[in-house]
Amino acid sequence: MKIYTKTGDKGETALYGGTRVSKANARVEAYGTIDEVNAFIGLAKANILDETIIFQLKQIQFNLFTVGSEAATPTDQLMLANGKPRLPLMISEKEIEELENWMDAMEEKLNPLQFFILPGGGNATTSLHVARTVCRRAERSLVFLNETEEVRVDLIKYLNRLSDYLFVLARFVASNNNEEEEYWNPNNR
C-alpha cells in the first residue's frame, strides 16, 4: 500500500466514516494539532532516560491516538446502529485519573510552585514545555470545534489534564537533572 493516495491534492480529506471535508475544517485542525502534541511528546521521550517516565509517555502517545481518532469522527458517526461505540477505544475518566495520579506522585517530590516558570532547561525539559503549549492549542481547537459540533467532554478534559501533566513532568525532569528553574517574577528583572 502506498502512503500517498492523491485524494487530498485539492485540499480535502476524509474523516472517519468517509465524509470529505476541507483540510481547513475545524475537526481536521483539532486532530492535526493532537498529532502535533504526540510528535512533541516523542521528541521529549527521545531525551529522557527514566524508564517510568518513558512508560508514561508511551501510554500517553497511545491515548493521543485514541483522542485523535475520536476527534476525527463526526459525532453522528461515533455510535453504531446497535448503540455500541464505532471506535474500538474511547478516552474515559480512567485515563484522566491516571494522569492525575502520575502528577500527584511527582508533585510530592517537587518544591511548591511560587512563581511562573520560564520555559527552558535541558532538551527533555524544553521539549516537554513545547509539548505542553501545543497541547493547550489542541485543547483550544477541540473547544472551538465543540462550539459548532459536539465533542465529548472527556476529550477536552483529557487534553486539559495532559497539559497540566506535561508542566509537572517538565518540572520533575528539570529537578531530576539538577536544572535550576528560572522564575518570572515581575518584581525582579
Only one residue has cell 455510535, namely 79
Give whole-number Cα distances, 88 to 15, 67, 106, in Å: 16, 12, 31
pTM: 0.89
pLDDT score for 25: 84
pLDDT in tens, 92-132: 999 999 999 999 999 999 988 888 888 989 999 999 999 99
Instruction: Give the CA radius of gyration of the chain.
Output: 18
Q: Is 49 helix (H, G, I), strand (E, B) or coil?
A: coil
Give whole-number Cα distances, 16 to 34, 47, 85, 172, in Å: 15, 33, 13, 37
pLDDT in tens, 72-83: 988 877 777 677
pLDDT score for 68: 95
DSSP 36: H
Say how far apart CA 121 and CA 116 lie, in whole Å.
Answer: 14
pLDDT score for 186: 76
pLDDT score for 145: 95
Q: Distance between terminal CA atoms of the chain?
A: 57
Q: Is 79 helix (H, G, I), strand (E, B) or coil?
A: strand
All domains of the chain in start order, with CATH: 16-75+86-184 (1.20.1200.10)
169 with 121: CB under 8 angstroms?
Answer: no
Which regions in the chain score pLDDT beneath 70? 7-9, 14, 22, 81, 88, 189
